[in-house]
């Protein structure tokens, strides 16, 4: 039986992640409350943030920024793109 969650983004019950995808307490919150579909949306958003802000994900400052954005994306008011971002 697959892991099902009440997804905080979709507002419906959906297939959850197969395993925690992020460490610690935030990772467990995501595992318990975020669907596979919502996680994929985050990965796309995260890629845009990395590219637009020219982040280097292995740098501590970049990782902290992305973690804060991930928490806002799922559990806050949302993670906004950069002010000058134009979606193609």
Read off the pTM. 0.90
| Confidence bin at 31 (pLDDT 50/70/90) | very high
Judge whether 27 lies within some domain: yes
What CATH code is carried by the domain that includes residue 47? 1.10.3880.10
- Cβ atoms of 17 and 36 within 8 Å: the answer is yes
Query: End-to-end alpha-carbon separation of the chain, Å?
Result: 39
Q: Can you list the alpha helix ranges (DSSP code H) found in the chain?
A: 24-33, 36-52, 60-75
Model confidence over 35-75: pLDDT tens digits?
999 999 999 999 999 999 999 999 999 999 999 999 999 99
Nearest-10 crossing angle of helices 24-33, 60-75: 30
Q: Answer whether residue 69 is part of any domain.
A: yes
Judge whether 82 lies within some domain: no
Q: Name the nearest CA neighbour of 70 among 33, 59, 6.
A: 33
| pLDDT for residue 32 is more than 80 | yes
Tens digit of each residue's pLDDT (9 = 90 or more) over 66-82? 999 999 999 999 888 88
Q: In the predicted model, is pLDDT for residue 1 greater than 60?
A: no
């Amino acid at each position: 039986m697959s892991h099902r969650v009440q997804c905080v983004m979709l507002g419906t019950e959906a297939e959850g992640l197969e395993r925690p995808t992020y460490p610690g307490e935030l990772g467990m919150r995501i595992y318990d409350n975020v669907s596979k579909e919502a996680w994929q949306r985050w990965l796309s958003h995260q890629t845009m943030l990395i590219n637009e802000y020219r982040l280097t994900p292995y740098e501590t400052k970049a990782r902290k920024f992305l973690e804060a954005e991930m928490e806002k994306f799922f559990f806050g008011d949302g993670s906004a793109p950069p002010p000058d971002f134009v979606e193609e």
